[in-house]
């Protein structure tokens, strides 16, 4: 039986990372110049990793699917980034950030990885301030903080509602410096289509020039990918439309494990779906829950009147409003974790209290905050978010409460990695949202930016050296080797197969069909029956895709439909992995909610005795069921408890 080695260092929890750094192997400066590292992705994780590795003296090849690293989806992050600085003197600490993150993930993450994340968080803020990131400051000039879900302290640093953009500009400036120095070679508008394995190690990639359509080969002593999550499997999500999980699938089919695929996060504050021709959804930052209060009408007849346009929400008296999160979870109120808030919104809407034309919306109301703080203060904190909402919905949120509803936002699952961020393929590393390592079954708000920059700036630059230390005598390999030729041939044959189908269905129509299956059967609430339906339907969609898709244009030229088709083929694979993983995990935890496993009050019912493990799915062939391997989550330092946000 395959044994999974997570390589967690020995010693007390608080000393593991220090012990690792003190005992790891290093590469001296002269030898670093002899080593090539491929970094795929230029979001926060990819850009920070490429910049840091270039600064150390490695030769870095950095691949960007966009025309500029500044267009990575990291730019869309709004609310903030967590760190345990305790500037507010409100009781925060590294341990509390660690514990909140572990608890928020419903005890389905590794202790050691999560503690390391909390431990390096403070360095991220110092790094970004040094880069000139314009974090919000208090009147006296000190960095300001606000609260996010799942915490009772204020530890989130922010730049209005544009935190991701500002952090990405900081990482981009560091990357640009290394590009200018010649340590990093940047390849824009390139998409990785396969990883090349030579004698069991990752030694390069096959990539497609998206402008010319040319397939090219690239060698690296190690390959790193920070290519984000797979939320677009659902078609409608808050992700950028180009976001995809294809590199994770490519790694999976070459032997890397896919971990916890069913752990997908549904964000509670998104602008509701408003039409069948919609192609993506818009996030409204979790930071809005600092001052906004979430409610629905107490009476069904009021909800029906609002849906029919006969009653305005502003006309509803205070005593006729149900602030259901404050009622159910008095200790955390509107700042419960995302999975809890999302399920509560779904429950109210399913019970008939939803608002909006479809009844699938709840209110996020700022009238109290405006009365307490003044409109100008609310505008200072959230002005760009309010402006964005008004442009999309054509309603003034300063006057009328925002309407929000949960939507797919982030994926906690991803490529399995050990403590060193290395996959089960030696020499292949996965960072940021692309891996599974830090968030368990649910990510807390403002922790995605923290993980991406932690991996890129502070973790990978150490751990990759431990791998490369015995590679310094390995010469640069020719891309004419048979392994490169075989990988390129496989990619070309796949493209040709797609182009030759010449069916009747557009790529988008099949993607949308997959998304509906995923949302209806593998979405916020899952059952054994719904997951069985999902697996059956996904197999049917896969068959339809490979027999009836139509891709116009040519395969060896600029072709955006071909790009989409390659990604949708991978989304189909991911969708099946998500469904089978959810089917196998007979419990409810975090973002994975099986309706059969819940307490009487509707809270998630974990089964620690049977399911306290990382599910690692191993590829066994195109027409074979994946094999489930398990990495036990043995907690040494924390006692698992039922999550409680009520007291």
pLDDT, mean of residues 561-566: 98
Pairing of strands 362-365, 264-270: unpaired
**Helix or strand or coil: residue 559?**
coil
CATH code for position 587: 1.20.58.100
Place of tokens 């708000």: 445
Residue 579 included in any domain: yes
Q: Count how many residues are written for the chain.
A: 647
Query: Average pLDDT of 149-162?
Result: 93
What integer pLDDT is reported at residue 277 of this predicted model? 87
pLDDT for residue 378 is more than 80: yes
Mean pLDDT within 498-503: 98
Give the pLDDT of residue 644.
87
Would the pLDDT of 475 be above 90?
A: yes
- Identify the domain boundary among 407, 433, 466: 407
From CA 49, how far away is CA 72, in angstroms rounded? 14
Cβ–Cβ under 8 Å, residues 452 and 414: no
Domain membership flag for residue 575: yes
Count of Cβ atoms closer than 10 Å to residue 479 Cβ: 18
Closest C-alpha to 359, from 297, 317, 294, 401: 297
494 and 595 co-located in one domain: yes
The verdict on 388 and 510 lying in the same domain is no
Q: Please, are residues 227 and 40 in contact by the beta-carbon 8 Å criterion?
A: yes
**Average confidence score pLDDT of the chain:** 96
For residues 338 and 604, what is the distance between their CA atoms, to the nearest angstrom?
13
Q: How confident is the model at residue 640 (pLDDT cuts 50, 70, 90)?
A: very high
338, 381, 443, 585: the active-site residue: 338
Structure-token pair, residue 615: 């599910």
Whether 574 shows a pLDDT value over 70: the answer reads yes
Sheet holding 59-64, edge to edge: 184-188, 59-64, 36-40, 222-225, 428-430
Residue 227 resides in a domain: no
Q: Is 388 in the same domain as 275?
A: yes
390 and 505 in one domain? no
CA–CA distance, 505 with 576 (Å, rounded to integer): 21
Based on the domain organization, do 492 and 611 belong to the same domain?
A: yes
Q: What is the pLDDT of residues 233-281, one digit of tens each?
A: 999 999 999 999 999 999 999 999 999 999 999 999 999 998 888 899 9
Return left, alpha or beta for 36; rule: phi > 0 is left, psi -120 to 50 is alpha, else beta. beta
Instruction: Give the side-chain half-sphere CA count within 13 A for 543.
Output: 7
Q: Tell which of 384, 407, 430 closes a domain.
A: 407
Query: What pLDDT score does 453 carry?
Result: 98
By residue range, what is the domain housing residue 553? 482-619
Half-sphere exposure for 597 (CA within 13 Å, toward CB): 20
Owner of token pair 């993983």: 581
* In a domain? residue 33: no
Instruction: Read off the pLDDT band of 1 (50, 70, 90).
Output: low
Tokens of 259: 């971990």
**Residues 403 and 271 occupy one common structural domain:** yes
Cα–Cα distance for residue pair 310/589, rounded to 1 Å: 40
Which among 189, 112, 60 has a CA at the least distance from the CA of 438?
112
In a domain, 304, yes or no: yes
* Shared-domain flag, residues 594 and 487: yes
Nearest to 264 by CA among 598, 579, 613, 603: 579
Specify if 492 maps to a domain.
yes
User: Is 289 noted as a catalytic residue in this protein?
Assistant: no
Kindly tell me if the per-residue pLDDT of 636 is higher than 80.
Answer: yes
Same domain, yes or no, for 275 and 387?
A: yes
- Are 427 and 420 spatial neighbours (Cβ–Cβ below 8 Å)? no
The answer to whether the beta carbons of residues 93 and 143 sit under 8 Å apart is: no
Q: Of 376, 407, 438, which residue sits at a domain end?
A: 407
Q: Which long-range contacts (CB under 8 A, 24 or more apart) does 138-147 make?
A: 142/87, 143/85, 143/87, 145/85, 145/87, 145/88, 146/80, 146/287, 146/290, 146/381, 147/290, 147/335
Residues in CB range of 601: below 8 A, 6 or more apart: none
CA distance 397 to 385: 10
Is the distance from CB of 230 to CB of 571 less than 8 angstroms?
Answer: yes
Question: Is there a single domain that holds both residue 523 and residue 612?
Answer: yes
Residues 440, 615: Cα–Cα separation, whole Å = 11
Structural domain count of the chain:
2
Residue 329 DSSP SS3 = coil
For 636, the token pair is: 């040494």
Same domain membership, residue 488 and residue 581: yes
What whole-number distance in Å separates Cα of residue 647 and Cα of residue 634? 27
DSSP states along 19-58: HHHHHS----HHHHTT-EEEEE--SHHHHHHHHHHHHHT-
Whether residue 88 lies inside any domain: the answer is no
Which CATH number covers residue 304?
Answer: 3.90.700.10
d(CA 97, CA 114): 9
Where does 105-195 have alpha helices with state H?
111-131, 163-181
Question: What pTM was estimated for this model as a whole?
Answer: 0.97
Q: Is residue 647 very low, low, confident or very high in pLDDT (cuts 50, 70, 90)? A: confident
Tell me if 403 is assigned to some domain. yes
Per-residue pLDDT reduced to its tens digit, 284-337: 999 999 999 999 999 999 999 999 999 999 999 999 999 999 999 999 999 999
Structure tokens at 414: 């991803």
Whether 272 and 397 map to the same domain: the answer is yes
Residue 306 tokens, joined: 């609002």
Range in 138-152, 244-258, 499-513 with the lowest mean pLDDT: 138-152
């Amino acid at each position: 039986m395959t044994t999974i080695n997570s390589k967690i260092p020995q010693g007390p929890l608080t000393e593991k990372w220090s012990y690792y750094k003190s005992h790891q192997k290093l590469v001296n400066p002269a030898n670093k110049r002899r080593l090539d590292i491929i970094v795929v992705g230029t979001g926060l994780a990819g850009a920070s990793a490429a910049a840091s590795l270039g600064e150390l003296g490695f030769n870095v090849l950095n691949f960007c699917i966009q025309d500029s690293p500044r267009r990575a989806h990291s730019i869309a992050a709004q609310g903030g980034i967590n760190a345990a600085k305790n500037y507010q003197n409100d009781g925060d600490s590294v341990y509390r950030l660690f514990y909140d993150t572990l608890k928020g993930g419903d005890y389905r993450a590794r202790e050691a990885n999560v503690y390391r994340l909390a431990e390096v968080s403070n360095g991220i803020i110092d790094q970004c301030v040094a880069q000139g990131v314009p974090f919000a400051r208090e009147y006296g000039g000190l960095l300001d903080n606000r609260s996010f879900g799942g915490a009772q302290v204020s530890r989130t640093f922010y730049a209005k509602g544009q935190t991701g953009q500002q952090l990405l500009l900081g990482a981009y400036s560091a990357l640009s410096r290394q590009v200018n120095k010649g340590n990093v070679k940047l390849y824009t508008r390139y998409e990785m289509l396969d990883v090349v394995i030579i004698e069991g190690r990752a030694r390069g990639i096959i990539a497609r020039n998206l402008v010319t359509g040319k397939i090219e080969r690239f060698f690296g002593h190690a390959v790193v990918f920070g290519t984000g999550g797979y939320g677009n499997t659902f078609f409608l999500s808050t992700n950028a439309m180009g976001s995809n999980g294809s590199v994770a699938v490519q790694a999976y089919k070459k032997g890397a494990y896919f971990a916890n695929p069913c752990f997908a996060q549904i964000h509670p504050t998104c602008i509701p779906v408003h039409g069948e021709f919609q192609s993506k959804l818009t996030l409204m930052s979790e930071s809005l829950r600092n001052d906004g209060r979430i409610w629905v009408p107490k009476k069904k007849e009021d909800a029906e009147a609002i849906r029919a346009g006969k009653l305005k929400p502003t006309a509803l008296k205070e005593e006729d409003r149900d602030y259901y999160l404050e009622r159910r979870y008095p200790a955390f109120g509107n700042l419960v974790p995302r999975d809890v808030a999302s399920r509560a919104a779904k429950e109210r809407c399913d019970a008939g209290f939803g608002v909006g034309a479809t009844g699938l919306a709840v209110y996020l109301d700022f009238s109290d905050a405006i009365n307490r703080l003044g409109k100008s203060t609310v505008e200072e904190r959230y002005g760009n978010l309010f402006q964005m909402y008004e442009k999309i919905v054509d309603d003034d949120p300063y006057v009328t409460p925002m309407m929000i509803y949960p939507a797919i936002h982030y994926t906690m699952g991803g490529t399995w990695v050990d403590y060193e961020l290395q996959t089960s393929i030696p020499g292949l590393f996965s960072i940021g949202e692309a891996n599974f390592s830090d968030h368990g079954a649910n990510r807390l708000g403002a922790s995605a930016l923290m993980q991406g920059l932690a991996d890129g700036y502070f973790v990978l630059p150490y751990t990759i050296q431990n791998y490369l230390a015995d590679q310094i005598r390995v010469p640069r390999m020719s891309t004419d080797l048979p392994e490169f030729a075989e990988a390129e041939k496989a990619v070309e044959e796949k493209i040709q197969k797609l182009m030759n189908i010449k069916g009747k269905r557009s790529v988008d129509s099949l993607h949308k069909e997959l998304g509906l299956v995923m949302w209806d059967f593998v979405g916020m609430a899952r059952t054994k029956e719904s997951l069985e339906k999902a697996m059956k339907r996904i197999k049917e969609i896969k068959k339809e895709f490979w027999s009836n898709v139509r891709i116009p244009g040519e395969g060896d030229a600029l072709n955006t439909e071909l790009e989409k088709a390659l990604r949708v083929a991978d989304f189909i694979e991911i969708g099946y992995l998500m469904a089978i993983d959810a089917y196998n995990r007979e419990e409810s935890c975090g973002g994975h909610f099986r309706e059969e496993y819940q307490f009487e009050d509707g809270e998630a019912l974990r089964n620690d005795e049977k399911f306290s493990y990382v599910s690692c799915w191993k590829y066994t062939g195109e027409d074979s069921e994946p094999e489930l391997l398990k990495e036990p989550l043995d907690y040494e330092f924390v006692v698992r408890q039922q999550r409680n946000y009520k007291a």
